[in-house]
Amino acid sequence: MRPHPILGAIPPYPSRRAVLLSVTALGGMLWLINLGYNRPLFIDEANVARNLFDRSYAELFQPLDHAQYAPPLYLVLTKILGELFGYRELVLRLPAFAGGLLAVCALWRAGIHLRLGYFTAVPLLLLFVNPAALRYVTELKPYGLDLGVGAGLLVLGIVTSIATSRRQLIMWTIAGMVAPWLSLPAVFVLAAVGLRGLYHDRRWVFPIVAWLLSFGLLYFTVLRPSVGSGYLNSFHQDYFLPWPDTLAALEQFGRIGWGLMRLTFGVTAVALIWGALLLVVGWLPRPRHAWLLLPLGIVLVVSGLRYYSLIDRLMLFALPGLWLIAGLAAQRLWRKSSRVTRAGLVVLTLIALDGSHSLRYFRQPITFSDGAKLAEAAKEGAYRVHPLAEPVVDYYLRIHPVTSEKGQASVRKPYGVYGSGEEHWLYDVLTAPRPNQDLRRDSIGAAERGCRVDSEPLYRARILVIRCP
């Protein structure tokens, strides 16, 4: 390399640190834009907020109301923030966002330990552009924290030496006892780490026993009422992995596997082909890293027993292992490729990384409902709220530190009761069949009674202004 007369020696490529910092800065900007957009809470988020507001800290260690589940320590942390800074949207979403930041730090540290160099950017980019990760690190649900805790435990397993010291065993004992109370899927990562450790050192039996006792307490105090319930079985029916003994089961097995690939790498054909190539290349030459996929294998077995759903949001914890395998494979392909092949790999990677079209969220942040506007309409006079709109309206009229200060004099009529004068009928979650059917039925019914019906469409919500004689 010929030195520049003023600048001195100029490296042919930017430094690894500069590349990773640039990736992290751009990805962090995407996340911050969506967090700062402060989209209104939607039905499940509002139901979690209602539990947080209505319960004491001790009651958060009991099964939740409104068909919700969240780990007790996650709820305690979120309630502390709500009590200190108000139960506003951004504040309540901070624990999930912290989980996303933990995942970033964990993948960076894993890249250093695995000597990925520049290719640490591969798992980082897959994390930042993943639409499920982007949604749940900016949402009042525990899934963003699941991602961070899962990544953190996996990376601790990577950096823990095979010749485990007594200090490391104590650290793992404490971490493993606490983790499931903060993130339920942590048990699958702990199982993988524990099996790997036990294979090399019998002393791992002591932390494993402590983990089982801690999880047993969590199961019998919080989880048992929900596991195997009719609601769980009906809602998640299509997301349990069946034993492949019939053609229908094989079809469902293939559909779930296809869904996991789309969740991991994207929805476009280029992204899926690129991801499949990396998984195959990453698996074959690196058997010592195959244990990174063990959490996924364990959860597949548990799902086959109908104890865990494979719906996208519950699988975020397993993605860091897949992304690290992809980074190892990309590094191997690069080292064995010619200059022309490398150029093709770069182009293919850049196309594949927008496999879920997440870059559009720089200019159009994620949103799901105009629930806050429903509450504003309720303040203007008598209102009637559809059951699926009830959680959001209740949150904004009773809990939110700004909007709850007004509108308490509004008269709410029970759903299904008709009155006279002007009323606002509020509907939400219009992506589901039931509220759409009820909306059409109520509109027709009010018109048949001689009422004037005006409709104000919102994003996945609607306000009917009913004026009856």
* Of the candidate ranges 156-170, 225-239, 377-391, 445-459, the one whose mean pLDDT is the lowest: 225-239
Overall number of domains in the chain = 2
Domain range for 461 is 371-468
> Three-class SS of residue 277?
helix
Q: Do residue 234 and residue 300 come from a single domain?
A: yes
Q: Do residue 354 and residue 403 come from a single domain?
A: no
Decide: 323 and 264 in contact? Cβ < 8 Å: yes
What Rg do the C-alpha atoms of the chain give, in angstroms?
A: 25
| % of residues, the chain, pLDDT over 90 | 57
Tokens of 196: 């790997």
pLDDT digits (tens, 9 = 90+) for 14-37: 788 899 999 999 999 999 999 999
pLDDT digits (tens, 9 = 90+) for 323-356: 999 999 999 889 888 888 888 888 888 899 888 8
- pLDDT recorded at residue 379: 83
- pLDDT recorded at residue 6: 47
* Of the candidate ranges 11-25, 121-135, 156-170, 397-411, the one whose mean pLDDT is the lowest: 397-411
Task: Give the pTM.
Answer: 0.91
Q: Do residue 167 and residue 225 come from a single domain?
A: yes
- pLDDT recorded at residue 88: 95
- pLDDT recorded at residue 245: 62
Q: Do residue 228 and residue 285 come from a single domain?
A: yes
Tell me the pLDDT band of 432, cut-offs 50, 70 and 90: confident
Q: Do residue 355 and residue 442 come from a single domain?
A: no
Instruction: Say yes or no to pLDDT of 409 above 60.
Output: no
Return mean pLDDT, the chain.
88
Contacts of 360 (CB under 8 A, 6+ apart): none
- pLDDT recorded at residue 248: 66
Q: Assess if residue 61 is contained within a domain.
A: no
Q: Assess if residue 47 is contained within a domain.
A: no
Q: Assess if residue 4 is contained within a domain.
A: no
Q: Assess if residue 456 is contained within a domain.
A: yes
- pLDDT recorded at residue 426: 92
Tokens of 70: 């969240």
**What mean pLDDT is predicted for residues 307-336?**
92
Q: Do residue 356 and residue 382 come from a single domain?
A: no
* Of the candidate ranges 83-92, 316-325, 412-421, the one whose mean pLDDT is the lowest: 412-421
**What mean pLDDT is predicted for residues 263-278?**
91
- pLDDT recorded at residue 261: 93
Number of H helices, E strands in the chain: 20, 5
Tell me the pLDDT band of 449, cut-offs 50, 70 and 90: confident
Q: Assess if residue 71 is contained within a domain.
A: no
∠ CA 101-31-185 to the nearest 5 degrees? 45
- pLDDT recorded at residue 24: 95
∠ CA 200-206-212 to the nearest 5 degrees? 110
**What mean pLDDT is predicted for residues 98-120?**
95
pLDDT digits (tens, 9 = 90+) for 175-200: 999 999 999 999 999 999 999 999 88
Q: Assess if residue 63 is contained within a domain.
A: no
The amino acid sitting at 349 is T
Tokens of 99: 């989980």
Q: Which residues are registered as beta bridge partners of 413?
A: 384
Tokens of 52: 């947080």
More confident residue, 436 or 224: 436
Tokens of 444: 């027709």
Q: Do residue 174 and residue 290 come from a single domain?
A: yes
Report the length, in residues, of the chain: 469
Domain boundary among 330, 362, 394: 362
Residue of 168, 204, 458, 155 whose CA lies nearest to 327: 155
Tokens of 5: 């007369």
**What mean pLDDT is predicted for residues 102-107?**
97
pLDDT digits (tens, 9 = 90+) for 204-262: 999 999 999 999 999 998 888 766 555 556 667 778 877 666 666 677 788 888 999 99
Q: Do residue 280 and residue 423 come from a single domain?
A: no
Q: Assess if residue 45 is contained within a domain.
A: no
Instruction: Say yes or no to pLDDT of 320 above 90.
Output: yes
Q: Assess if residue 82 is contained within a domain.
A: no
Q: Do residue 263 and residue 140 come from a single domain?
A: yes
Q: Do residue 279 and residue 422 come from a single domain?
A: no
Tell me the pLDDT band of 7, cut-offs 50, 70 and 90: very low
Decide: 241 and 303 in contact? Cβ < 8 Å: yes
Q: Do residue 259 and residue 381 come from a single domain?
A: no
Domain boundary among 310, 335, 362: 362
pLDDT digits (tens, 9 = 90+) for 121-141: 999 999 999 999 999 999 999
Q: Do residue 320 and residue 378 come from a single domain?
A: no
- Whole-number Å distance between alpha carbons of 372 and 383: 15
Domain boundary among 345, 362, 379: 362
